[in-house]
Amino acid sequence: MKIYIDGKFYDKEQAGISVFDHGLLYGDGVFEGIRVYHGKVFKLSEHITRLYASAGAIALEIPMKKREMEEAVLETVRLNRKKNGYIRLVVTRGEGTLGLDPAHCGKPTVIIIVADIQLYPEELYKKGVKIITASTRRIPPECLDPRIKSLNYLNNILAKIEARRSGAMEALMLTTQGLVAECTADNIFVVKGGKLLTPHPCKGALDGVTMRTVFEIAKARGIECSEADLAQYDVYTADECFITGSGAELVPVIEIDDRTVSDGKPGPLTLALIEDFRRLVAA
């Protein structure tokens, strides 16, 4: 494995950053998780655009043009000869002092890792997963806009711990007002009356690249899609439910908080969208 760090490639065993890097010390930085399918990087431009938007929102100036970043990602994929895999693109504030002030940091650190990934066993895409609602609430947008994909994921990690301890693979996170936000690492969709609904990014959900892709393929089927305020009631009483993410892709949800979604099987629309998505990435 070859890892890109600030314009150079290192073997995994030699790859490292300073212990004074503010990405390590404070979670000060942004990242993207990107998929590689059949040698092609999926939605690279969209991911790079979101990366730079996240960086701009936290006043982090990435020391590369967008096109240069895209080329660095593609070169790292080529060097690792990865036909199918996962890219973790990270930009930290860079090396600084032990103080919180980012003004003491020098040049930001750019890291690109290309590796294998399989978040869910294949059978769960056919049988579905069970999730719970975490007691850990999503950080309010008034405190940190959820559209910023930052390195500080402690909020989500605590919810993930709850999920694992309860025997579930994922956890639903609510806003401080009790609305549905997202899962720990995925967006969530419900199907009600033939319509596809997902929480609005301004209400606590990441503006997901896979989420937007689902909108595209659903609209191509003539399915009405919208962002909406959703309560737990809407998820409990959904006709279908599924989660989406770059790593997860589309995974059916068949049970939430011991409540069976519809008949307890992945719904026909969910399964159709999974097939459409797989055809898209295979093209």
How much is the pLDDT for 203?
85
143-183 pLDDT tens trace: 999 999 999 999 999 999 999 999 999 999 999 999 999 99
Output the average pLDDT for the chain: 96
pLDDT band of residue 202 (cuts 50, 70, 90) is confident
**Is residue 101 scored above 80 in pLDDT?**
yes
Radius of gyration (C-alpha) of the chain in whole angstroms: 19
**CA dist., res. 81 & res. 115, Å (int):** 10
For CATH 3.30.470.10, list the domain ranges present in the chain.
2-115
256-269 pLDDT tens trace: 999 999 999 999 99
Choice among 2, 43, 130, 149 that is catalytic: 149
How much is the pLDDT for 119?
74
Q: Which CATH architecture has domain 124-282?
A: Alpha-Beta Barrel (3.20)
Question: CA separation (Å) from 10 to 6, 60, 79, 151, 275?
Answer: 10, 25, 11, 22, 38
Q: Which CATH architecture has domain 2-115?
A: 2-Layer Sandwich (3.30)
How much is the pLDDT for 283?
83
For CATH 3.20.10.10, list the domain ranges present in the chain.
124-282
pLDDT band of residue 85 (cuts 50, 70, 90) is very high
Residue 149 appears among annotated catalytic residues: yes
